[in-house]
Amino acid sequence: MQHRIVVLGAGYTGAAAAGRLARRLRPEDAAITLVNAEPDFVERVRMHQLAVGQNLKSRPLSEMFAGTGVEVKLAKVTGVDVDRRTVTVTVVAASGAEEREEELSYDTLVYALGSGWNSQGVPGTNEYAYEIAGRAGALRLRERLARLDAGAPVVVVGGGLTGVEAATEIAEARPDLDVALAARGDLGDWLSTKGRRHLRQVFGRLGITVHEHAAVTGVAADHVTVADGTSVPAAVTVWTTGFAVHPIARATTLDVTATGQIVVDGTMRSVSHPDVYAIGDAGMAMGPGDKPLRMSCASGTPMAWQAADAIAARLTGGKLPNVTLRYFNQCISLGRREGLIQYVTADDRAVRAALTGRLAAVYKEVICKGAAWAVANPTLGIPTRRRRVVREPDRAAATVRTPA
């Protein structure tokens, strides 16, 4: 009887985990189902490009997984019962067909539903703000930006990586707009001195107004309000103040954090339900210095590899992976012609070294292309041998949480 592995979500992490498992396990021993609501793989790190009118390469999941043995099921996940080991989905209907509900049973679940935008509960965000955490949001913003007249004010709220990339991409693509960024602290305050200096130079060249120490407390149709009461004009408000995880895990009996992330051990295995693995933004994994890994592609892809290799090892009697998940750099695009590569410590603190300018932009583009290539080539082109499933993983007790 085949061991049933169900992977929820086909973003960077879910797609990579499914593909890697397919290359580790014999298809006659393991049935791998990848559930996703969209038919294409979405390069989430490029949503700011999509928002300004650039066309991204189509990456159909059906083509990506053709011949791998992975079954791609187009469906929206509506519920997970980790005690019954079932997943409830609504199958995405073809044109003119009725949607239907199905229940999938699993022996091992890989939870990779990721995250969406986080309004932070600020009044007016849900009604008036735009987001670029996913394809639908980026396309909605794209349509709105295309209708703006010259001189219209655009405010990007959030001074993190997503906000910086969005502001510079919009300002470069639409120099006729009045682009501003509102940051809770100093612009680029997490960067090195060199990195901050370059960021300010690029913002200056692109004509982006920066409102520092300006926490936004309200969003309206034509302005945002900051904590000191100042009103900043905004024909369009782009909200980039972090991410919120998919809410389904919180509704289960899984051990989750206050933010809804599934608590996992060093192999990405749930500490409360050993047949569940959580990867990417959905999992709370620990990195160097016992610090939680941040929500990012840089964290998610190694988490996917770790989980897939651990599942395969437990099923085939192999050796469990013991790879420390760490950071090397932060890759930031500043439009299509400029970039910033901030080198960091293993626990993600900036060091003095940074790469800037056109070379950094090329570096970032290579990283983005490499990330998409790695999803389709989850063993990085290294030949692997599919192994026979020889035993079922222990479900009698939860694992002990250890640093990742």
> What's the pLDDT band for 60 if we cut at 50, 70, 90?
very high
- Count the Cβ atoms, other than its own, within 10 Å of residue 160: 16
CA 39/CA 18 separation, integer angstroms: 15
Q: How many CB atoms lie within 10 A of CB 57?
A: 10
Per the rule left: phi > 0, alpha: psi between -120 and 50, beta: everything else, 289 is left
Confidence of residue 95 (pLDDT cuts 50, 70, 90): low
Name the pLDDT band for 1 (thresholds 50, 70, 90): confident
Asked whether the predicted pLDDT for residue 404 surpasses 90, the reply is no
pLDDT in tens, 178-220: 999 999 999 999 999 999 999 999 999 999 999 999 999 999 9
Average pLDDT over residues 77-86: 97
**Mean pLDDT throughout 303-311?**
96
pLDDT at res. 110: 98
What confidence score (pLDDT) does residue 322 get? 84
Predicted local confidence at residue 381, as pLDDT: 79
Structure tokens at 41: 């793989």
Residue 333 near residue 315, CB atoms below 8 Å: no
Owner of token pair 């939870």: 111
The string of pLDDT tens digits covering residues 132-182 is 999 999 999 999 999 999 999 999 999 999 999 999 999 999 999 999 999
Long-range residue pairs from 324-327, CB within 8 A, at least 24 positions apart, any chain: 324/287, 324/288, 324/404, 325/285, 325/287, 325/293, 325/299, 325/404, 326/287, 326/288, 327/287, 327/298
CA-based angle 54:57:58, to the nearest 5?
Answer: 125
pLDDT band with cut points at 50, 70 and 90 for residue 398: very low
Q: How far apart are CA 281 and CA 163, in angstroms?
A: 18
Predicted local confidence at residue 399, as pLDDT: 43
Residue 71 phi, psi dihedral angles, 5° rounding: -90, 120
Report how many helices (DSSP H) and strands (DSSP E) the chain contains, helices first.
Answer: 9, 22
Determine the 3-state secondary structure of 289 from DSSP. Answer: helix
Over residues 356-375, the pLDDT tens digits come to 999 999 999 999 999 999 98
C-alpha to C-alpha distance for 146 and 152, rounded to whole angstroms: 11
